[in-house]
Structure 1
Amino acid sequence: MDFLDLDHVEFHVGDARQAAYVLSAGLGFRLLAQGGPETGLPGQRSLLLGQGGCRVLLTSGLEPGHPAAQYVARHGDGVAVLAFGTPDATAGYAAAVAGGARGVEPPREDGGVVTAVVSGFGDVVHRLVERRSGEFLPGLVAVPDGGVPDGGVPDPGLVRGIDHAAVCVPDGELDATVAYYREAFGFDVVFEEYIEVGGQGMFSRVVQSPSGGITLTLIQPDGAREPGQVDDFLAWHGGPGVQHLALSCPDVAAAVDAMAGRGLGFAPTPDAYYDTLAARPAERLRSRGILLDRDHWGELYQIFATSLHVRRTFFWELIERHGARTFGTANIPALYAAKERELAAVRTPAVAR
């Protein structure tokens, strides 16, 4: 059973309207739909935002017992659902459960959309979405003017979609997590690397759906090395979760300029990094802190934004690909070194294991 694409991501947040304003004002997203008790979504407020092919659903619980409120109490704002598009949600649910996934919600059809939910990692689940016709999800009502919340300014040309999700798992859980995605969803390992940043170390494996439309970068800290940012995430988030989402951009330099102009910060890169780029477009990248790398098929540009979350857990990445299908071996250590410099300033003196 194939899973075609990352249909949408759902964040559970303390205040959906505030989170929506940040996405619109800082990253140029548009408000597409909204829902709440008055539209058949009891106990919650949800806002759907989009840009290009990227869809982000923000949900806040309106009462303490709502699952979104409970998630935020445990983890702070964060990704709670990675939704997989599929041509047959019922068959996809059966295949995933047969492969070892835990069934959370059995398939149901409402408004021309068939959905089902299965387990993922930690408190993150996967919603399987089969679109036949109708609304985006039951209970969400389209915003007719395609507006933005509270006066934010959209810029729909910056982002195409979501390139990949990066997931942090505790030391010792990487092998089991990789096996789970291979057996339950039919994903393949397409890239792996051991990353060293100073005295820290981390293992990274990339799993991808056969369609190529869903990519998860799975990261585990090396417990034999010094604790670092992955340990920070696991401690501050309260267990495994989505550390960042990479937004695919047609022009990452233009996106950085636009988003920086809106107030979004980016992790700095030392000038010495660009001395190794030789004839490549070093100056255009240097002024913005963008990194360049390549795999067997082409080049890719990448940069991490600084975290907007109070726990300094989740953050966004911007990526532009020119033929590259996976990841290079130079950018990942440089990206994580940049994030390490950012988090070192807010870290407590030691992260206990």
Structure 2
Amino acid sequence: MDITDTDHIELYVGDAHVAAEQLCAQYGFRVFGQGGPETGLTGQRSVLLGQRDIRVLLTSGLSGGHRASRYVAQHGDGVAIVAIGCTDAAAAYAEAVAAGATPVSPPRTATHGDSAVVFAEVSGFGDVTHRLVQRDRTDPNFLPGLIATPADPVPEHEDDLLHEIDHAAVCLPAGELDTTVAYYERVFGFSMIFQEYIEVGEQGMQSKVVQSPSGGVTLTLIQPDISRQAGQIDDFLAWHEGAGVQHIAFSTHDIAAAVRTLGERGVGFAQTPGSYYDMLAGRLGETDVPVADLRPLGILVDRDHWGQMYQIFAKSTHIRRTYFNELIDRHGARTFGLSNIPALYAAKERELAAVRDTTLSEGTAL
């Protein structure tokens, strides 16, 4: 199976137009196309957003029986499809099914004029599926005949801050981590490139990262340690009602500028205590981005064998406090350092703790 990259992600949402407006206003995405019953997308309304090499498809069901409606009813808004680019979608589908993947949708071809895109779907984790996509990268048509795109390609903007989908982080119920790693190794030919045990206070979680041979698709898989105190992963699994994508990480080439700009547009970011930066020089030495720029923005920094990486979580705007976004800026780093992930999850735990305290206070007042 020749996998190239993360072709796109598809989120099932209650209102695709409202979700699109928020992502455009806050994150700088632009509308690249739309589809619905009039374009052959039966029972749904979809909006395609783009920025650099990122494509995000937002889909809402138009009836209770549509799979997007069922997904939102159970899980709330979230990532339902992680699409994988490949050189031969039909062959990849056959190979994946032969290796044990559950078939979801057989190969079909979307065509319009001279444009053609082949796609099929197989099982992933929880209720998330993988769409295998074969396309000509020079063709601006996303799903020709199904998603209507402008006659003239949407131009890139010089001020685009986000460039690629770096990885997806997945929360799994306890006991499913190793079997899920084995599934991606067997079905998609992924390799495990990183693993660690994360401790945040009295909580514990195990993380393993799997990646395609091309390096274009990366999944961070996380399960809670149920022998420890329940925490944010347990919260996600309860509120999301099962395994799912906790966050998508978008890469940027200037994280300080991105955080400042997105913050001005209304994106909230997790806070990092000043003590983190007080100890940074002793832990990492000199950083590519000055600590004076990192500290006021709450950006974290770590390194692996190849270089440094900078990361930050955006605060969730989801009513269930499940899905959120991450920004990551890689300065040569290929994997994940040993200090950022615990720090990132500690920051997210502080955010969720504040939400719990507020909810408890409001409940008591009532």
Instruction: Establish whether TM, by shorter chain, passes 0.5.
Output: yes
Q: Please tell me whether residue 41 in structure 1 is matched to residue 44 in structure 2.
A: no
1:155–1:312 Cα change, 3 Å: farther
| Residue 211 (structure 1) aligns with | 214
User: C-alpha distance in 2, partners of 1:89/1:170?
Assistant: 30
| Residue 292 (structure 1) aligns with | 301
Cα shift at 1:95:
1.1
Cα shift at 1:263:
0.5
Q: Deviations over 1:164-202 (max 9, x none)?
A: 000000001101100000000000000000000000000
Q: Please tell me whether residue 123 in structure 1 is matched to residue 127 in structure 2.
A: yes
1:215-230 superposed matches below 5 A: 215-230=218-233
Report if the CA contact (8 A) 1:31-1:146 is conserved. no
Q: Deviations over 1:210-250 (max 9, x none)?
A: 00000000000001000000001101111000000000001
Cα shift at 1:134:
6.9
User: C-alpha distance in 2, partners of 1:128/1:292?
Assistant: 34
Cα shift at 1:135:
2.5
User: C-alpha distance in 2, partners of 1:272/1:101?
Assistant: 46
| Residue 308 (structure 1) aligns with | 317
Report if the CA contact (8 A) 1:113-1:134 is conserved. no
Report if the CA contact (8 A) 1:43-1:63 is conserved. yes
Q: How many residues align?
A: 344
Q: Which amino acid aligns with 1:184?
A: V
| Residue 142 (structure 2) aligns with | 136
1:165-204 superposed matches below 5 A: 165-204=168-207
Q: Which amino acid aligns with 2:350?
A: R
User: C-alpha distance in 2, partners of 1:317/1:143?
Assistant: 29
User: C-alpha distance in 1, partners of 2:225/2:91?
Assistant: 37
Q: Please tell me whether residue 51 in structure 1 is matched to residue 51 in structure 2.
A: yes
Q: Which amino acid aligns with 2:228?
A: R
Report if the CA contact (8 A) 1:51-1:156 is conserved. no
Secondary structure at 2:253's aligned position in 1? coil
Secondary structure at 2:108's aligned position in 1? strand
| Residue 273 (structure 2) aligns with | 270
Report if the CA contact (8 A) 1:6-1:82 is conserved. yes
Give the TM-score taking structure 2 as reference length.
Answer: 0.91
Q: Deviations over 1:30-76 (max 9, x none)?
A: 00000111111121100000111000000000111111011000000
Report if the CA contact (8 A) 1:34-1:143 is conserved. no
1:293–1:63 Cα change, 3 Å: same
Cα shift at 1:146:
7.2
Q: Deviations over 1:253-306 (max 9, x none)?
A: 111011000000000000000011224321110010000000000000000000
Give the TM-score taking structure 1 as reference length.
Answer: 0.95
Cα shift at 1:156:
5.1
Q: Please tell me whether residue 107 in structure 1 is matched to residue 114 in structure 2.
A: no
| Residue 150 (structure 1) aligns with | none
Report if the CA contact (8 A) 1:6-1:85 is conserved. yes
User: C-alpha distance in 2, partners of 1:331/1:224?
Assistant: 23
Q: Which amino acid aligns with 2:173?
A: P
Unaligned 5+ runs, structure 1:
148-153
User: C-alpha distance in 1, partners of 2:85/2:312?
Assistant: 27
1:218-257 superposed matches below 5 A: 218-257=221-260
Report if the CA contact (8 A) 2:198-2:206 is conserved. yes
Q: Please tell me whether residue 339 in structure 1 is matched to residue 345 in structure 2.
A: no
Secondary structure at 1:345's aligned position in 2? helix
1:265–1:123 Cα change, 3 Å: same
Unaligned 5+ runs, structure 2:
361-366
Q: Which amino acid aligns with 1:44?
A: Q
